[in-house]
Amino acid sequence: MSKNALKVADRLLLSPYGLGDAELEKVFRKLMRHQIDYADLYFQYQRSEGWSLEEGIVKSGSFDIEQGVGVRAISGEKTAFAYSDDISLDALVGAATATRAIADAGERRSVAITPHKVRNRLYRADDPLASLDDTAKVKLLERLEGFARAEDARVTQVMAHIAGSWEVVLVARNDGHMAADVRPLVRVSVTVIMEDGDRREQGSAGGGGRYDYTYFSDERLRDYARAAVHQASVNLEAGPAPAGTMPVVLGPGWPGILLHEAIGHGLEGDFNRKGSSAFSDRIGQQVAAKGVTVVDDGTLPDRRGSLSIDDEGNPTERTVLIEDGILTGYMQDIMNARLMGVAPTGNGRRESYAHLPMPRMTNTYMLNGDRDPAEIIKSVKKGLYAVNFGGGQVDITSGKFVFSTAEAYLIENGKVTRPVKGATLIGNGPDVLTRVSMIGNDMALDPGVGTCGKDGQSVPVGVGQPTLRIDGLTVGGTA
């Protein structure tokens, strides 16, 4: 958050509609006539675009402008919420009136929100959509396609996509706190189809973050193309995957998506307040092997999952969730933190002004251990080395998960041997944490591609981890 962000937000979201302190105070007076514990207004303006190239032809292009305001009031565990794409005093008063449905809810509680110190911005406020003209955006995709085809003559099809957005948000709260943020976000992805004889496989790669399009240098685009072609070529050579219980070594970086899905969601405050998480009521207990430390950190500069402030106006934090195997805390928004008697952690996030905030991850990762990755591989007599993942599913209550690998290899007698296709990892998140036996010293974050879904809302996130050895994990294979 910064004074500049507040100026931008005022210019786009308040001043054009005749809104100032007096008008916002009028809305809050209407809200707080009822037995309300907390209320806020969330203003949003967003420009976004996407371009897709396939077989050298622009297949699609989109541009969208979205703006509006959400009005929320909380009493106890009850929430009233209304939103409008019309930013005006009349619309705000109407939305405030609509919240009276919870006016009769319970006794009134006091609001106790600690003011936060303004921090330096985590990313530049420049609009990425303006950083290249449309012709240059198409040429960027054409270069990416060319790099992919140059990698391997077996590439028969290339699909490239670029997306960018520029978002301005303003949060006004009944405690007088006002905060704003200007959020750029870009992403490039490439998928290749490769054929060899009668076999046909695909590979994907990409990256991005809170930059403008100049982030995608030719060197970076070549890296994406090389990674996608490598993944497809490995799968062309892959044999059937083994099945059974065995040691599994997870590579660094993107495999942290398993940590995010199987463990991270279970550490969000709402699930734990309701007692529906496998980690509920376990603060201070040993929930993972010694050496396992997991953090959620929204303060990393320029990362896809980072935010200067969350969507409730609180600065994001580096929250230690598990330290040396001990559960130390949960990720919290304002409502769940208040009901649990703890402080919010800057994890209140929402997809847009038309959605309610809830506790969500930002950048969630496991910290380094002290083992050399080569030593971890060498320690496995027979197992699986999972370098990259595709999709997965998890049940928050039980912690059970199923993940499919996108790139995996056999480990035989301490060496990575042949690639395998079709391997799935099956387990239980809390149980898997106790089975971590070796932690590498090569922690890496993902390249900037993560999107997390929860209750129908999608938000950008980051994941990461070092190389890990997990003992006794069930592998569903094709052999």
Which range, of 9-13, 106-110, 178-182, averages the lowest pLDDT? 106-110
Backbone angles phi, psi at 23, to 5 degrees: -70, -40
What's the confidence (pLDDT) of residue 309? 97
Query: Is the pLDDT assigned to residue 117 strictly greater than 70?
Result: no
- Integer Cα distance of 125 and 184 in angstroms: 6
Instruction: With CA atoms as reference, report the closest residue to 40 among 81, 84, 90, 98.
Output: 81
- Superfamily of the domain at 5-237: PmbA/TldD superfamily (3.30.2290.10)
Render pLDDT for 130-144 as a digit per residue (tens, 0 to 9). Answer: 999 999 999 999 999
Reported pTM: 0.94
pLDDT band at residue 246 under the 50/70/90 scheme = very high
Query: Is the pLDDT assigned to residue 115 strictly greater than 60?
Result: no
Mean confidence (pLDDT) of the chain: 93
What's the confidence (pLDDT) of residue 36? 85
What's the confidence (pLDDT) of residue 390? 84
Which residues are within 8 A (CB) of 148 and not within 5 positions of it... i.e. 6 or more apart? 155, 158, 160, 190, 192, 225, 228, 229
Render pLDDT for 299-328 as a digit per residue (tens, 0 to 9). Answer: 999 999 999 999 999 999 999 999 999 999
Determine the average pLDDT of the residues in 366-373. Answer: 98
* HSE-CB for 456 with a 13 A CA cutoff: 4
Q: How far is CA 208 from CA 124, 167, 186, 306, in A?
A: 14, 16, 5, 12
Domain limits, the chain = 5-237, 243-476
- Integer Cα distance of 51 and 188 in angstroms: 10
Determine the average pLDDT of the residues in 291-295. Answer: 98
What's the confidence (pLDDT) of residue 107? 42
Query: Is the pLDDT assigned to residue 111 strictly greater than 50?
Result: no
Render pLDDT for 268-278 as a digit per residue (tens, 0 to 9). Answer: 999 999 999 98
